[in-house]
Amino acid sequence: MSKNILVAYFSQTGNTKKLANMICDAVGGTLQDIGAGAAVDLDAYDTVFVGTPNWAGTVTEPVKKFLSAHDLSGKTVIPFCTHGMGGLQNVASDMAALCPNSKVLQSFAIKGVEVDSAPEKLRAWLDGLGYGALV
């Protein structure tokens, strides 16, 4: 398992940021806030966790822009999401459609208000993906 992992996220009110930090700590990745829209050099990474809040059932605009502007071909993409009452909705499927040449793994989703209780679920998810034993 490679350790060249980027954890890229957008967060407006901090929930997805908190989750991104937990994932980053768990897998030993590099954290990248993509909210400002700056170009990110992805050459060094073969795995990119991509986090977004659920807005209107789908991926937020900054994350759409990030996925459209960067070539993720051949990379492993792992979606994660925080949400309100709607759940994951179309977030993971819409994200996968934006990176058609990537290997998109099983996503993780949790209510924004429950992020503080995420670590246990997060660990099970990462173990299932094979990223649990990295750090």
Ligand X SMILES: Cc1cc2nc3c(=O)[nH]c(=O)nc-3n(C[C@H](O)[C@H](O)[C@H](O)COP(=O)(O)O)c2cc1C
Shortest CB 130 distance to ligand X, Å: 26
Output the six-digit token pair for 6: 């980027």
Closer to ligand X by CB, 28 or 87: give it: 87
Reported residue count of the chain is: 135
Shortest CB 125 distance to ligand X, Å: 17
DSSP 55-112: ETTEE-HHHHHHHHHS--TTSEEEEEEEESTTTTTTHHHHHHHH-TTSEE---EEEEG
Helix (H) or strand (E) holding 49: strand 47-55
Using rule CB under 6 A, residue 62 touches ligand X: no
Using rule CB under 6 A, residue 11 touches ligand X: yes
Task: Name which position in 2, 14, 119, 121 contacts ligand X (CB under 6 A).
Answer: 14
Task: Name which position in 3, 30, 71, 84 contacts ligand X (CB under 6 A).
Answer: 84
Task: Name which position in 92, 112, 122, 125 contacts ligand X (CB under 6 A).
Answer: 112
